[in-house]
Amino acid sequence: MKMNHMLALLALISPVAALIATDVARADDDVAAVSKEKLAQFDAGPSSIDVSAYPAGLQKNYSVFREKCTLCHTLARPVNCEFVLPDEWSRYIKRMMHKPGSMISPGQAKKIYEFLAFDSSVRKKALFDERLSKAAPADKADAQSRIKEILDAYAQK
Ligand code: HEC
């Protein structure tokens, strides 16, 4: 679509969009973590991960992630978001578990957590290292030991 057409279309739908946005904002009041623009940016990125080099058990966990985290948005959102540290993942997955209708059991949540924490440490390594370098010493040690724990658990599987 040409830019001027796009703008014309935007002008046409923006009153409607504004109405919808107010509703969404109300519903998200307590939980909105990032801006709508950021969410749209995450959603527009790649919607899968090449897990062929990951430990076999974590490849299985990837299927759980794909199944459970695509109920309300596409996989692109968690694939491209800026959460990287294990603690960020465990807290966020808990939040997604508590959303009405999410149907994620504690066992499934654990598998998804292990997958995403490991995945961030390799696929988003630059961001992961940057966060670690800024983290308090205790948080840095916590993140490193959690990744090691996952690697140890999945190395033999
Ligand atoms: C019941 C619906 C639902 C399910 C299931 C769900 N999400 Fe979400 N997700 C949302 C909504 C709504 C938002 C918008 C922001 C918010 O409300 O937290 C969101 C936003 C996100 C974001 C972006 C937030 C940010 O601050 O960057 C990530 C990442 C995410 N979800 C990951 C996941 C993962 C991982 C799973 C699976 C464990 C999952 N979601 C399952 C509804 C859901």
Q: What is the pTM of this model?
A: 0.82
Q: Report the pLDDT value the prediction gives residue 45, as an integer from 0 to 100.
A: 97
Q: Find the residues whose C-beta lies inside 6 A of ligand 1.
A: 28, 31-34, 68-69, 71-73, 77-78, 81, 83, 93, 96, 99, 101-102, 104, 112
pLDDT (tens digit, 9 = 90+) per residue, 59-98?
Answer: 999 999 999 999 999 999 999 999 999 999 999 999 999 9
> Taking the domains of the chain in order of start, what are their residue ranges?
3-32, 56-155
Q: How many CB atoms lie within 10 A of CB 111?
A: 20
Domain 56-155 CATH (choose: 2.102.10.10, 3.40.50.2300, 1.10.760.10, 2.40.30.170): 1.10.760.10
DSSP of 19-60, one letter per residue? Answer: HHHHHHHHHHTTT--S-HHHHHHHHTS------TTS-HHHHH
Helix (H) or strand (E) holding 154: helix 137-155
- Find the 96 Cα to ligand 1 centroid distance in Å: 6
CB 58 within 8 A of CB 154: yes
Residue range 34-63, pLDDT digits in tens = 899 999 999 999 999 999 999 999 999 999
Q: What is the mean pLDDT of the chain?
A: 86
The DSSP element (H or E) to which 13 belongs, if any, is: helix 3-28
Question: What is the atom index within ligand 1 of the atom nearest the CA of 34?
Answer: 26
